[in-house]
């Protein structure tokens, strides 16, 4: 187990490095540091000297990949690539192009993201499971087919409309919750209700249909038939046998996304004015703050790989037949 984990982690490092190389080329080769400097220094009275100074401070005046005039290790270490990409591995995200410390901002902003994403996940799973179980219970009836149709319908509506419509209806027309905003602690609840509800509802169609498929797969398995022949009630079978066994694929599916919950949701957060990582990323994209986007790409890949490893572990925990090596 331990060896396996170690192997996985060692396997992750080259992946992260190549992610870095990839994003580095995307950012620095197309967009020169001069362009970035101009963008961030504003428009009035900008001199070339100020630009050089700005670049000097961020180390953008160094060569991109290879410092040919220096010797030894410095050929590699005194470059923009080394300074800006490899330091990410130490979680030193450095300064954003606008001058704030990125690590600090990330550590502050991941909590609001989590405050939305976690309830959406938990409430979403509970609700989806209930409905899917309900629909699967009535399989091959009109309730089932209408249920599936409604699910497909809900899937076909763009998430944007859930957000725009939800805010308009609940926030503006019915005046039940504040339209947007956020606050720390307990009083955050009134701000979170609407985005969480919208998040749950927009994921309902897809989730229900998926879980229903999983349930139906289980229902047709032999052990269920056996149970049925033993004279268990249908509702009992659904709740104890089917649900318990279907939870394995469902939970492993959840574990993958668990680490990525920190990243938040781009559109919801910016629409409801929630200071999470999602809106952080959007702001960075709109302000063309490449340092932040680069850090977020790295963080995202890292969390994704973490999710994969967690999934493997959870497989062994849930199903003792699987052994990792």
Partner 1 sequence: MYLYKFYFIFFIFIIGCSKPWNNPYSTEKESYSIHYSSFAERPKHLDPVSSYSENEARFISQIYEPLVQYHYLDRPYRLEALTATKLPEPMLVHDESINYSIYKVRIKPGILYQPHPCFAKDPQGNFVYHDLTSEQVSQIKTFSFFTSTGTRELTAHDYAFQIKRLAHPQKHSPVLGLMSKYIVGLKELKEKLLASSQKGQVIDLKKFNIAGVKVVNNYEFEIKIYGKYPQFKYWLAMNFFAPIPWEAEAFFSQTGFKEKNLSLDWYPVGTGPYMLTENNPNRRIILKKNPNYDPTLRPSIEHNKQRIDLNFDREVDEAHFILEKEAIPEWSKFLQGYYDASGILSDSFDQVISINSRGDANLSSDIEAKGVNLVKAVKPSIAYMGFNMTDPLIGGYSEKQKFLRRAISIAINYEELLSIFANGRGLVAQGPIPPGIFGYLNGLSGVNEHVYQWTEKGPRRKSIEIAQDLMSRAGYPEGIDTTTGKRLTLFYDTVLGGPSGKAVLNWYRKQFKKLGIELIVRATDYNRFQEKIRKGTAQIFSWGWNADYPDPENFLFLLYGPNSKVETQGENATNYQNPEFDNLFLKMMETPNGVSRQKIIDRMVELLREDSPWVWGYHPTTYTLYHKWMKGVVPNLMARNTLKYKTINQNERREYRAKANQPVLWPLVFVVITIFAIFFICLFRVKKDKTTSV
Partner 2 sequence: MQIVILKTDFLFFLLLAGIFLYSLFVFKDKQLLDVWRQVFRKPLAIASGMVLFFYLAICLLDSIHFKHLANNEKSQEITSVLDSLFEPISKQVETTYSAPFAYSSFVKETILNDDGSVAREFPRLKFGGSHLIDPESDYWPDIWISLIYILCMGFVFWLVLLFIYYFFSYRSRPKSVISFVNVVLVSSGSFKVFWVTLLGFCLLFSFLFVFAGHYHILGTDKVGNDVLYQSFKSIRTGVLIGTLTTLLALPFALIFGVTAGYFGGWIDDVIQFLYTTLSSIPGVLLIAAAALMLEIYMSKHSDIYMSVVARADLRLLALCMIIGITSWTTLCRYVRAETLKLREMDFVAAATALGATKLRVIFRHVTPNLMHLVMITLVLDFSGLVLAEAALSYIDIGVDPSMESWGNMINSARLELAREPVVWWSLGSAFFFMLFLVLAANIFADSTRDAFDPKTND
Q: Which of 103, 180, 245, 288 binds partner 2 (CB under 8 A)?
A: 288
Which partner in partner 1, partner 2, none is near 3 (CB below 5 to 8 A by kind)? none
Asked if 165 touches partner 1 (CB under 8 A), the answer is no
Asked if 177 touches partner 1 (CB under 8 A), the answer is yes
Which partner in partner 1, partner 2, none is near 293 (CB below 5 to 8 A by kind)? partner 2
Asked if 273 touches partner 2 (CB under 8 A), the answer is no
Q: Which of 37, 132, 204, 305 binds partner 2 (CB under 8 A)?
A: 305
Give the integer Cα–Cα distance in Å for 154 and 203.
8
Give the integer Cα–Cα distance in Å for 314 and 322.
10
Asked if 115 touches partner 2 (CB under 8 A), the answer is no
Give the integer Cα–Cα distance in Å for 100 and 221.
57
Q: Which of 159, 178, 249, 273 binds partner 2 (CB under 8 A)?
A: 159
Q: Which helix (H) or strand (E) holds 266?
A: helix 266-271
Give the integer Cα–Cα distance in Å for 255 and 306.
10
Q: Which of 14, 30, 186, 321 binds partner 1 (CB under 8 A)?
A: 186
Q: Which of 65, 118, 258, 285 binds partner 2 (CB under 8 A)?
A: 285
Q: Which residue, 238 or 305, has its beta carbon nearer to partner 1?
A: 238
Handedness of CA 167, 172, 175, 179 (dihedral sign): positive
Residues 207-266 within binding reach of partner 2 (CB under 8 A): 213, 216-217, 220, 260, 263, 266
Give the integer Cα–Cα distance in Å for 47 and 41.
10
Asked if 205 touches partner 1 (CB under 8 A), the answer is no
Q: Do residues 281 and 109 lie in contact, with contact meaning Cβ atoms separated by under 8 Å?
A: no
Handedness of CA 126, 127, 130, 136 (dihedral sign): negative
Q: Do residues 324 and 4 lie in contact, with contact meaning Cβ atoms separated by under 8 Å?
A: yes
Give the integer Cα–Cα distance in Å for 244 and 147.
22
Angle CA(23)–CA(24)–CA(27) in degrees, nearest 5?
A: 85
Residue 184: count of CB within 10 angstroms of its CB: 10
Give the integer Cα–Cα distance in Å for 202 and 223.
34
Q: Do residues 16 and 9 lie in contact, with contact meaning Cβ atoms separated by under 8 Å?
A: no
Task: State the nearest-atom distance from the C-beta of 9 to partner 1, in Å.
Answer: 27
Residues 266-325 within binding reach of partner 1 (CB under 8 A): 270-273, 275, 279-280, 283
Q: Which residue, 176 or 317, has its beta carbon nearer to partner 1?
A: 176
Torsion, Cα of 285, 120, 175, 150 (10° steps): 100
Count Cβ neighbours within 10 Å for each residue of 155-181 and write b for 16 or more, e otherwise: eeeeeeebbeebbeebbeeeeebeeee
Selected range binding partner 1 among 15-23, 40-48, 75-83, 214-222, rule: CB under 8 A: 40-48
Selected range binding partner 1 among 80-88, 190-198, 222-230, 292-300, rule: CB under 8 A: 190-198
* Positions in the binding site for partner 2 (CB under 8 A): 14-15, 18-19, 22-23, 26-27, 30-31, 35, 139-140, 152-153, 155-161, 164, 168, 172, 213, 216-217, 220, 260, 263, 266-267, 270, 281-282, 285-286, 288, 290, 293, 296-297, 300-301, 304-305
* Positions in the binding site for partner 1 (CB under 8 A): 35, 38-39, 41-50, 53-54, 56-57, 98-101, 103-105, 108-109, 122, 134, 138, 141, 143, 167, 171-183, 186-187, 189-191, 193, 270-273, 275, 279-280, 283
């Amino acid at each position: 187990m331990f060896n396996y984990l170690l192997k996985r982690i060692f396997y992750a490092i080259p992946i992260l490095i190549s992610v870095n190389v990839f994003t580095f080329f995307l950012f620095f080769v197309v967009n020169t540091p001069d362009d970035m400097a101009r963008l961030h220094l504003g428009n009035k009275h900008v001199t070339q000297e100020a630009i050089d100074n700005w670049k000097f401070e961020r180390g953008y005046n160094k060569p991109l990949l290879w410092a040919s005039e220096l010797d030894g290790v410095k050929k590699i270490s005194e470059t923009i690539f080394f300074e800006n990409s490899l330091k990410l591995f130490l979680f030193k995200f450095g300064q954003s192009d606008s001058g704030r410390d990125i690590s600090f901002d990330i550590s502050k902003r991941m909590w609001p993201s989590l405050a939305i994403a976690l309830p959406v996940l938990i409430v979403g799973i509970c609700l989806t499971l209930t409905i899917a179980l309900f629909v699967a219970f009535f399989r091959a009836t009109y309730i089932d087919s209408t249920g599936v149709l409604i699910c497909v319908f809900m899937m076909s509506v763009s998430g944007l409309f859930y957000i725009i419509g939800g805010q308009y209806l609940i926030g503006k027309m019915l005046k039940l919750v504040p339209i947007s905003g956020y606050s720390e602690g307990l009083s955050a609840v009134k701000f979170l209700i609407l985005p969480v509800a919208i998040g749950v509802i927009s994921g309902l169609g897809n989730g229900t249909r998926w879980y229903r498929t999983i349930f139906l797969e289980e229902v047709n398995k032999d052990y269920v038939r056996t149970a049925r022949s033993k004279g268990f009630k249908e509702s009992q079978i659904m709740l104890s046998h089917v649900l318990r066994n279907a939870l394995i694929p469902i939970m492993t599916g959840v574990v993958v996304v668990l680490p990525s919950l920190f990243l938040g949701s781009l559109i919801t957060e910016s629409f409801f004015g929630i200071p999470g990582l999602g809106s952080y990323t959007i702001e960075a994209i709109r302000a063309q703050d490449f340092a932040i986007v680069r850090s977020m790409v790295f963080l995202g890949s890292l969390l994704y790989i973490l999710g994969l490893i967690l999934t493997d572990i959870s497989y062994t925990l849930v199903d003792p037949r699987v052994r990792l090596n």
